[in-house]
Amino acid sequence: MNPLSHFSRFESNDLLRSDRFEGTNRIIQPQHAELTFTHPIVGRFRGGPSDFAGPIKFRANSTACNVYCMYSVTKPVASEPVDTRNFGFGDSFVLVLNTQAFVDRFFRAVNAYGLAGRGALVEYYEATQFSGATGTFRKPSTFAYQNEFRFAVWPGSGRVMELYVGSLVDITSEILPLFDVNHLVDFSADTLREFGLSM
């Protein structure tokens, strides 16, 4: 599990991972901001929307956590359930076939390590319009194609953290080539019904 700050350090040319808002608690768009400054020589003056180069970002220690990120499919998909932009994350994948068992094992490990944890789908917001709380489970809508489900643990370590959850061989598929995911996996409504599943 990488520290949350890890994702704000990538160069801007790494479009998959570079997120300048990662680790923020709140952002305020310039059009929603007006600040008053006091300078010993100039005196008091105000800063309005045209005075800011971009959104004002607030960070606090409450976001100092480590995260584990997964791709999630939350509804039936007729074709290409995985956006091909995600192929840049690696060359292989496994399916978690029993998501509840996976979640249970994760939280058992969290408890065994004496940590606090949470798992949730990431919510996506419009980064040029949204003002408000961001936090660990919100990201700009430019990343919406990642369909991320994220696990987070507190307190963060500031470095990569390993949690031992035990063997997952009984609840996962074999390791498969990521490039073929959209040919190997069928998440259509008909297939889900055939297996007695619903999303």
Domain ranges of the chain: 2-23+62-194
Q: Which of 33-42, 80-89, 134-143, 170-179 is predicted with the least confidence, judged by mean pLDDT? A: 33-42
- How does pLDDT run across 57-102, given as a tens digit for each residue? 887 765 589 999 999 988 777 677 888 999 999 999 999 999 999 9
- Mention every residue, 6+ apart, whose C-beta is less than 8 A from residue 174: 94
Task: Using the predicted structure, report yes or no on whether residue 108 has a pLDDT greater than 50.
Answer: yes
Radius of gyration of the chain (CA): 20
Classified as helix, coil or strand, 190 is helix
How far is Cα 141 from Cα 13, in angstroms, rounded to an integer? 17
How far is Cα 138 from Cα 179, in angstroms, rounded to an integer? 27
Helix (H) or strand (E) holding 107: helix 99-112
Q: Please tell me which residue, 88 or 198, carries the higher pLDDT value.
A: 88
Give me the mean pLDDT over the 166-191 stretch.
Answer: 86
Residue 61 burial (10 A CB sphere; 0-12, 13-18, 19+): exposed
Q: Which of 14-28, 79-93, 121-135 is predicted with the least confidence, judged by mean pLDDT? A: 14-28
* pLDDT at res. 48: 73
DSSP result, 134-168:
--TTEEEGGGGGG-EEEEEEES--SS---------
Percent of the chain whose predicted confidence (pLDDT) is above 90:
43
- Mention every residue, 6+ apart, whose C-beta is less than 8 A from residue 132: 26, 27, 125
